[in-house]
Amino acid sequence: MKWAVVLLAIFGLSECLHKIPLYKGKSAREALKEKGLLEKFMKNHPYNPSIKFNSALAQIANEPLTNDYDLSYYGIISIGTPPQSFKVIFDTGSSNLWVPSVYCNSYACTNHNKFNPAQSSTYRATSQTISVQYGTGAMTGILGYDTVTVGSLVDTNQIFGLSENEPGSFLYYVEFDGILGLAYPSISSSSATPVFDNMMSEGLVAQDLFSFYLSRNSQAGSVVTFGGFDSAYYTGSIQWIPLSSETYWQITVQNVMVNGQVVACASGCQAIVDTGTSMLVGDSSNINNILSWVGISKDQNGQYSVNCNNIGSMPDVTFVINGAQFALPASAYVMQTSSGCSSGFSPSSDQLWILGDVFIREWYSIFDRGNNMVGLAKAV
């Protein structure tokens, strides 16, 4: 698994869990018709002939997400029979599902829900192991199969990781228990089939895509939608961007502009759209140039602090992708808390950019496995 979850995982306070179920238990056609969206939905999808409205199982299913201080977004799934509940990050930057287990004695497991296979009548053990790498070490464990329920979707034959060792102490302090990866099978540890691949192969979703709306300022209402997307969460048209690699949700950024001037990625750069990373990450030289252009510099403690009073006068940072412009106003790329303001950009030694939650909060994101594209539209 990618290193990026570490960026958000060191933060662990959470507000109350908000559940706003939409479309649950209904067929795609029923849900869209009820919302008055069926005609528009069909009109907007002429390119995809594989809509499975005839499947008795196919649905559009929403999973509410809790916004944990704009640092992470997690929802609740269940595993086993009877169901055992877990809070998980729905992470487009990785591909494995794993949760803590009763076999784990690490410090990080002591205050989280732990899966007990002995209490599930549908659990099937394997002899396979799994190792997921983090910046502070590896999560290691075993693989097993069981029923995984996400919203109203019931995946009866899902392989997942049961942790035996979890790295360091950072996972102790987070609210979520585990990770549900939504990237491609090609980067799945131990070649474990990702959850959404099973959903597709079992015909559980109306379309082979899912979408994210991430709320701002710790507000309720964040949601991941499996099998469709909802025009209530965006305005204007959707810009469809072909993937440059079917590993992460990787796309090509043509350049980054401030005040009409190209300030980063002048020759293009690769980026992943990643719900599991809280910030917007890029290589140090490009990020530092962007920060200079918008007037952010390091303070005496080496932190990229921002005068909150300056937000209204700071320029947009615009990403040019597939010929379209995706602007981030200062209110998006400056993170505001009760203790002050700081940059939502994070320099990295890696050349692969990460368009994390800072970006996705502004741009409703659709992840289309059927056509290997990302759709972006202005979030409401």
For residue 312, report the phi and psi dihedrals to the nearest 5 degrees.
Answer: -65, -20
* Options 68, 70, 230, 274, the catalytic residue: 274
- Give the tokens for residue 180: 């549900």
Annotation says 274 is catalytic: yes
- Give the tokens for residue 338: 């009760």
* Options 68, 70, 91, 208, the catalytic residue: 91
Q: How far apart are CA 367 and CA 365, in angstroms?
A: 7
Tracing tokens 């990866």 back to the chain, one arrives at: 181
Tally of CA atoms within 13 A in the half-sphere of 152 that contains its CB: 21
Dihedral angle sign, alpha carbons of residues 374, 377, 378, 380: negative
Annotation says 177 is catalytic: no
Would you name the residues annotated as active-site residues? 91, 274
